[in-house]
Structure 1
């Protein structure tokens, strides 16, 4: 067995553990989304491979409360990813590939079912497919079958980000 723990950031900092495999993911997506499980690729050849092994069969994994430290770590990882993607865009590097890796690491795309609701999305409000989440972060024009309303949150619509700050209550 391979044991993995993935941090999922939805909104500001919700986290989830990964405890599923490819077969369950494929079945859920086929039944509920009506779409193929095969990941789409962008013009920059972005792909997410679904792990074929069962990730963990321990029913206690991820059942405890999320700690404040885990939330802060997730926030730091997310902030750094946004800054790195923004910098890569500005320097004309592979920001789409970098965003794809961040989506895999932070949102668990390719490992489990994802229910991502981008805060600024209006038309296509939920993004269960990796390419749909990627479209939101890098802009619909940078992803094959991207969503037209997406300006690219991680690149701030082409203006970039200088900093990411969380105001925790």
Structure 2
């Protein structure tokens, strides 16, 4: 049975990884190397389908491959999706998960809530997320990643 502690540890590792990617943005080779390792370790692209819907995507909304996810996180001249600007190279100084709840099963867990990305000026961006994890060889790997900005009501023009 997957535990809540395993899920929160996986979330902390993910958040620390996003921060580290941003810290490496001025050393492109190291940034690419770490971002690839991040995706290999934390996502299940090699074990089956990954449903990845990142926050800041309009044209290519869904990123089912490692290369498309890499493009979202670090962009670059050879990026797979031309709209990407490199979400993780913002950079961020902290990522904090606030789980609404976690569904735990023997080999699967699903977490939903808000996460907060702190920029270098101390400003937080609030984003809604759902992460699905599956247990693969004793490690939790993400196979569902959906994030979006919270809905806001637009006041009609008078």
Task: Detail structure 1 runs of 4+ shifted over 6 Å in the superposition.
Answer: none
> Which position in structure 2 is the counterpart of 1:105?
41
Gap regions ≥5 residues in structure 1: 1-63
Residues 53-95 of structure 1 show CA distances to partners (whole Å, capped at 9, x for unaligned) of xxxxxxxxxxx5x532122011111011111111111455510
> Which position in structure 2 is the counterpart of 1:161?
92
**What do you get for the CA RMSD once the two structures are aligned?**
1.9
Cα distance in structure 2, aligned partners of 1:136 and 1:121: 8
Q: Pick from 48, 65, 68 the counterpart of residue 4 of structure 2.
A: 68
Cα distance in structure 2, aligned partners of 1:97 and 1:146: 16
Gap regions ≥5 residues in structure 2: 101-158
What TM-score, normalized to structure 1? Answer: 0.53
Are residue 146 (structure 1) and residue 80 (structure 2) matched? yes
Q: Indicate the SS of the match to 1:137.
A: helix
Cα distance in structure 1, aligned partners of 2:79 and 2:70: 11
Structure that is richer in helix per residue? 1
Cα distance in structure 2, aligned partners of 1:92 and 1:130: 18
> Which position in structure 1 is the counterpart of 2:154?
none
Deviation at 1:122, TM superposition (A): 1.2
Are residue 137 (structure 1) and residue 73 (structure 2) matched? yes
Structure that is richer in strand per residue? 2
Q: How does 1:1-169 map to 2 (within 5 A)?
A: 64=1, 66-139=2-75, 141-142=76-77, 144-156=78-90, 160-169=91-100
